[in-house]
Amino acid sequence: MNSICISEYGVLFIKSAKITESLEKRKISKTAWDWLLKEATGTKEHKPLVRPIKRDGYAGLQVLNYVGVITTPCDWQIEIVPKIDKYSSGGSNQEREAEQSRAKLMKMLSSVGIIKPREFNNASLKLFNKPFPDMLIKLFLDDVNQLIKRGIRNDYVPIQEETTYLKGCLNIAAQIRQPVDRRYLFQIEHDEFLPNRAENRLIHSTLLKVSKITQDISNKRLASELLFVFNDIPKSTNYKIDFSRWINNDRSIVHYRPVKPWCDLILNDKTPFSLAGEHHGLSFLFPMHDLFEKYVAIILRKQLNDQYLLEEQVASEYIVEKHVVKKNVVEQFFNLKPDLLIKSIEGNINKVVLDCKWKLITTDKESYGIKSADIYQLYVYGQKYLSGKGDVFLIYPENAKFEKPLPVFKFDDNLRLWVIPFSWENDEEGDRLIFPKDIKGEFLHQIDKP
């Protein structure tokens, strides 16, 4: 399998293109390029993952704001990592930049609960030099290894067989149908205590899949060792039915719980967006905007004063309060749904509206590269959720040209708009929203860290 790593909004070219490859520009085969052009440029069911573009004199496909992995039927594995400008090395050290982006992506996925929550520290750094799919496979294999050490659980399995002796119950209907020359044999039914249960079948199937698609030698070796343990257990023939039979509240298999999300992710491509099709491989993608919004909410909760509450995707206000069509009156039209809303616990009063935008802005451009539609949106949020008085915030990821809040935008004397950066640090505890020192920030433990 051919494997490449590209950043968000990078461009994929056909191999014949004479371009210098980097994290922003990669070459793939024409068959893979044609397949992406056909399958990933958007359908009625799915949003586009790539868009045709002309760059450096060649036709290209620009990947959009999804991160994860796409595997094509012709065995090209395209890993898409988030474009986090703070870690950009300007192309001088692409591998290091990719590792740092993977590390940040894994922490975000873990924090928002898409994968099993876990700590990623300096001891885990070797994990991030693997491509994203191999990183996930390594985590899955480690969890299965721990499960085996605690013991594979058996269950009573109904067995129907023909024997020369009686055991369990005689299947009378089947016995009556026996030919005369075989009436010395018994059709019996009984239960046996075997590891052939839904959970083990699904784990076996997942191990078989990852052993074929992983490109990491250590992963292949470990997968082979683990498969030996499950060798006598049949693989799952119907994932949907077996997942419905996976028992969550059985205390005897509580150590199976960490493995279930991995099986669901790998076998069913259980992600916010997937491009799996029927070909072999591992394809799943996460919308970076949604991931960023959820991660910001988690970090902001840590900064909030105990007297305030953070709510996500509130939808209690509308642009239009009444809409009259002939004699029928339609109440509340065009719902408003800001990303984040801070409320006071005492009195349940709306205090601050915040909206997250996964986009790199700069102080070099006119209007800072902020879309006017985003400004209009925050103005309406301020009018409806704050009664036109107070502060609304636009949150963008920090980059080299946007490291501190922009000067305040005043809609009028009562309503202000702040544009603030989300600061990326080397560890999750350091990640934070940088609020302007011009406001009191009474809803925060502290306005900024030293």
Q: pLDDT of 77-127, one tens digit each?
A: 888 988 876 555 444 577 778 888 888 888 888 888 777 666 565 445 566
Which pLDDT does position 206 carry in this prediction?
92
Question: What is the percentage of the chain residues whose pLDDT exceeds 90?
Answer: 24
Whether 390 is in a domain gets the answer: yes
Do both 264 and 122 map to the same domain?
A: yes
Q: Are residues 333 and 379 in the same domain?
A: yes
Rounded Cα distance, 97 and 101, in Å: 6
Residues 171 and 225 in one domain: no
For 226-282, what is each residue's pLDDT tens digit? 999 998 899 998 888 989 888 877 788 888 888 888 888 888 755 555 554 444 466
- The tally of CA atoms less than 13 A away on the side-chain side of residue 349 is 8
Q: Which helix (H) or strand (E) segment is 79 a member of? A: strand 76-81
Q: What is the mean pLDDT of the chain?
A: 82
Give residue 417's pLDDT.
Answer: 93
Question: Are residues 340 and 210 located together in one domain of the fold?
Answer: no
167: in domain: yes
pLDDT-derived band at 429, boundaries 50, 70, 90? low
**Are 324 and 182 members of one domain?**
no
Whether 383 is in a domain gets the answer: yes
Structure tokens at 3: 């494997």
The structure tokens 């692409």 sit at 94
Q: Is residue 334 part of a domain?
A: yes
pLDDT at 450: 41
Number of folded domains in the chain? 3
Q: Where are the alpha helices (DSSP H) in 340-439?
A: 372-385
Please give the helix or strand (H or E) that residue 209 lies within, else none.
Answer: helix 198-213
Q: Which of 391, 303, 296 is nearest to 340 (CA)?
A: 296
Q: Which of the two residues, 442 and 355, has the higher pLDDT score?
A: 355
pLDDT(342) > 70: yes
445 falls within a domain: no
Domain final residue, candidates 245, 270, 295: 270
Domain identity same for 202 and 260: yes
How far are the Cα atoms of 10, 70, 236, 313, 372 from residue 30, in angstroms, in the given order? 17, 16, 35, 42, 39
Is 48 inside any structural domain? no
- Answer yes or no: is pLDDT of 449 > 50: no
| Whether pLDDT at 444 is above 80 | yes
CA gap 68, 284 in Å, rounded: 6
Whether residues 237 and 361 share a domain: the answer is no
> In terms of domains, do 250 and 351 share one?
no
Q: Give the end of a domain, one of 270, 294, 324.
A: 270
The pLDDT score that the predictor gives to residue 226 is 94
Q: Is residue 99 part of a domain?
A: no
Q: Are residues 124 and 264 in the same domain?
A: yes
Q: Which residue has the higher pLDDT, 290 or 449?
A: 290
Q: Alpha-carbon distance 258 to 64, whole Å? A: 31
Give the tens place of pLDDT for each residue, 309-340. Answer: 999 888 777 777 777 776 666 676 777 889 99
Nearest CA to 442 among 342, 347, 355, 354? 342
Strands (E), 280-414: 284-287, 308-312, 317-325, 328-336, 340-344, 350-356, 390-397, 409-410
**227 Cβ partners below 8 Å, 6+ apart?**
204, 207, 208, 211
Please list, in sequence order, all residues whose beta carbon lies within 8 angstroms of the beta carbon of residue 253, skipping any fewer than 6 positions away: 153, 199, 247
Q: How far apart are CA 431 and CA 295, in angstroms?
A: 10
| Matching residue, tokens 């928002």 | 112
Which residue range(s) make up the domain with 186?
155-194
Read off the pLDDT of residues 373-398 as tens digits, 9 standing for 90 and up: 999 999 999 998 898 898 999 999 98
Cα–Cα distance between 422 and 397 in angstroms, integer? 5
Same domain membership, residue 128 and residue 264: yes
Say whether both 237 and 347 belong to one domain: no
Reported as half-sphere exposure (CB side, CA atoms, 13 A), residue 175 has a value of 14
Shared domain for 175 and 312, answered yes or no, is no
Of 68, 74, 86, give the one whose Cα is nearest residue 30: 74
Instruction: Report DSSP state, residue 408.
Output: P
Q: How far is CA 159 from CA 170, 194, 238, 244, in A?
A: 12, 10, 19, 21
Residue 273 contacts residue 286 (beta carbons within 8 Å): yes
| Least trusted range by pLDDT, from 145-159, 180-194, 227-241 | 180-194
Is 390 exposed, middle or buried (CB count within 10 Å of its CB: 0-12, 13-18, 19+)?
Answer: middle
User: Is residue 298 included in any domain, yes or no?
Assistant: no
Strand pairing partners for 310?
A: 342
Report phi then psi at 197, rounded to 5.
-125, 165
Q: How much is the pLDDT for 427? A: 56
